[in-house]
Structure 1
Amino acid sequence: MKVGISSPIVALSGKRPEWEAEAGTAELVQVAETADRLGYEFMTCGDHVAVPPGLHRGERFYDPLATFSFLAGRTRRLRFLPYVLVLPFYHPLEIAKRYGTLDHLSGGRLILGFGVGNLKEEFDLLDVPFEDRGPRADDALKALRAALSGRQVSYEGPYFSFQDMVIDPHAVQPKVPMWIGGHSERALRRAVTLGDGWAPAPQSFRGPTPELMREMLDRHDLPDDFNVLFTPGERLDPISDPARVTDIIATAEQAGATHINLTVRHNSLPHYLEQLEAFAKTAALDIEP
């Protein structure tokens, strides 16, 4: 079981500790460097351009490309997962070039997480069609698969078309992992047929229970290398309750997950980092000396 962190600081929603609201570059670097040393697989960052005031999911959203590009230079092993990019906001070649450059500069540490989006106000603001966002996203995924890891690329589809276009630099991974967000059957079908993994929302955002996740996965013929992200429906306290760490890993395995997206209880930056270390030791992650 691989474990990544649902990054603090980069997004604020609900009741979060005061230190996160006041934190900046130095604190974010400490989080990334600690996660890197402790053997965590990835860190996350969401994707919103501009949101209405008072949005229930929060108002702060760091830009994932700028954030990950900065942190790539301060880490060696940690991978970077935008969880999730709103795919209809972008032309596939824009993602292939911008995030392909990140993959190039980081030495192949990119995982792409995609969703079709559901905040209509943001679609309207960006003058992006909302009603056909599903089929538009499907075509974009096919175009991305054709474009992400090649220098001279071509694609022909109902929404996107390009012939013999050069992308230099581009992703160094021969096949950049593409994980699809969303908690519906349609989202899972999109993940199985067009992606490399499924990254549903946590239960607190209407995501599936572990039991439902297992039922949904069992209805599909999954590829051997298909990845599934499980976000526990609670903030863990590895320092005070290490047994719960073991329980959550077992729950994730039973649900069919290959990765856990970790959130922990904390009241300060030192407390957060201590929780990461406690979880890593209990879960036997690949901690550097």
Structure 2
Amino acid sequence: MRIGLSTPIVVRVPEIASPWEVGGGPAELTRIAETADDLGFDHLTCSEHIAVPAAEAAARGSTYWDPLATLSYLAARTTRIRLATSVVVLGYHHPLALAKSYGTLDRLSGGRVVLGVGVGSLEAEFALLDAQWAERGTAADRALAVLRVAWGRREVGDFVLDPPATSTTAPLWVGGRTRRSLRRAVTLGSGWVPFGLPADALAAYLAAVSRPSGFEVVLSPGRALDPLADPGGTRRRLTGLRDIGATVACCAVRATDIDHYCDQLAALIAVAAPL
């Protein structure tokens, strides 16, 4: 099981983010990305919300850096680590626009993009953007089908998309918390990134489907880990994810400042190494 990093600063969800992140900027973000890259983490993430309704901010947080801009910045400061959207909302974009923008980033980064996508869950945000809320799941299936065809190809139908991504194998992680999201991931994607599901539900969902070779199951331990203060508890939580079927664990770590955060990253890799 590989270890990925839920990037701090760029997304601040209450009860997961640490207070020091509020003052974090490009310098801290660069140090984190370079440290994670050097330590061998699998990926960095960035999520998408264009505008969070004020009534939802207390639960969801209100800080969401733009994923394309953020991951492009991180691509220039790293060499190996993958760059994953977790997730981009399909209903906010034309699939060919995603193939072009993230395909360009894939080429700039040397093939390190993972396009994590979801159907979206904020009706008010859809309304703000004049995006289709009703039947968004069906629309997402159509968009995924187009992305699979367009990814890495210079010519799509009667149109040219140049530059294309570096490979025609689309790295598509599908987010969600339903059986339908898992079926969508198995059928149209290359991985599943569930959220908000208990361990027994995750295990039951995964046991009910046949996953293709190389399919990635990206699970989160939930609240932030503290591998320096609690290496045993951290290992138990990661082992639990592995036993459910995770191929990648996407983790957040607790810290008091940037120095402590980078120390936590090194400790996390050490704790997870035998897994």
- TM-score normalised over the length of structure 1: 0.91
Q: What is the CA distance between 1:212 and its match in structure 2?
A: 1.7
Whichever residue aligns with residue 238 of structure 1, its letter is: P
Partners of 1:176 and 1:31 in 2: how far apart? 27
SS at match of 2:31: helix
Partners of 1:248 and 1:51 in 2: how far apart? 31
Of stretches 226-235 and 142-151 in structure 1, the one that deviates more from structure 2 is 226-235
Partners of 1:238 and 1:52 in 2: how far apart? 34
Are 1:236 and 2:228 matched, yes or no? no
Are 1:88 and 2:91 matched, yes or no? yes
Decide whether the 8 Å contact of 2:147 with 2:170 is kept in 1: no
Residue in 1 aligned with 2:189?
195
Identify which of 256, 273, 277 aligns with 2:262: 273
1:163-202 residue pairs with structure 2 within 5 A?
163-201=157-195
Partners of 2:234 and 2:105 in 1: how far apart? 32
Partners of 1:17 and 1:259 in 2: how far apart? 23
Decide whether the 8 Å contact of 2:190 with 2:214 is kept in 1: yes
Q: What is the CA distance between 1:84 and its match in structure 2?
A: 0.5
Decide whether the 8 Å contact of 2:221 with 2:238 is kept in 1: no
Decide whether the 8 Å contact of 1:88 with 1:136 is kept in 2: yes
Q: What is the CA distance between 1:282 and its match in structure 2?
A: 2.0
Residue in 2 aligned with 1:51?
52
Residue in 1 aligned with 2:153?
150
Deviations 1:116-153 (CA, angstroms, capped at 9, x unpaired): 00111111111111002111100000000010110111
Whichever residue aligns with residue 176 of structure 2, its letter is: G
1:130-141 residue pairs with structure 2 within 5 A?
130-141=133-144
Deviations 1:170-213 (CA, angstroms, capped at 9, x unpaired): 10023131011001111111111111111001xxxxx2222221
Residue in 2 aligned with 1:12?
12
Residue in 2 aligned with 1:215?
204
Decide whether the 8 Å contact of 2:107 with 2:164 is kept in 1: yes
Deviations 1:194-233 (CA, angstroms, capped at 9, x unpaired): 11111001xxxxx222222111111111112111011002
Partners of 2:222 and 2:69 in 1: how far apart? 29
Identical-residue share of aligned pairs (%): 46
| Moved beyond 3 Å, runs of 4+ | none
Partners of 2:272 and 2:242 in 1: how far apart? 13
Residue in 2 aligned with 1:245?
234
Partners of 1:174 and 1:151 in 2: how far apart? 10
Residue in 2 aligned with 1:3?
3
Whichever residue aligns with residue 142 of structure 1, its letter is: A
Decide whether the 8 Å contact of 2:116 with 2:172 is kept in 1: yes
Whichever residue aligns with residue 200 of structure 2, its letter is: E
Decide whether the 8 Å contact of 1:110 with 1:176 is kept in 2: no
SS at match of 2:54: coil
Are 1:73 and 2:62 matched, yes or no? no
SS at match of 1:111: strand
Deviations 1:38-77 (CA, angstroms, capped at 9, x unpaired): 0001011110111222422011100000001111011001
Whichever residue aligns with residue 95 of structure 1, its letter is: L
SS at match of 2:158: strand
Decide whether the 8 Å contact of 1:12 with 1:61 is kept in 2: yes
Deviations 1:220-253 (CA, angstroms, capped at 9, x unpaired): 1111211101100232111122222321232112
Whichever residue aligns with residue 10 of structure 1, its letter is: V
Matched length? 271
User: Structure 1 unaligned runs (5+)?
Assistant: 154-162, 202-206
Q: What is the CA distance between 1:28 and its match in structure 2?
A: 0.6
Residue in 2 aligned with 1:157?
none
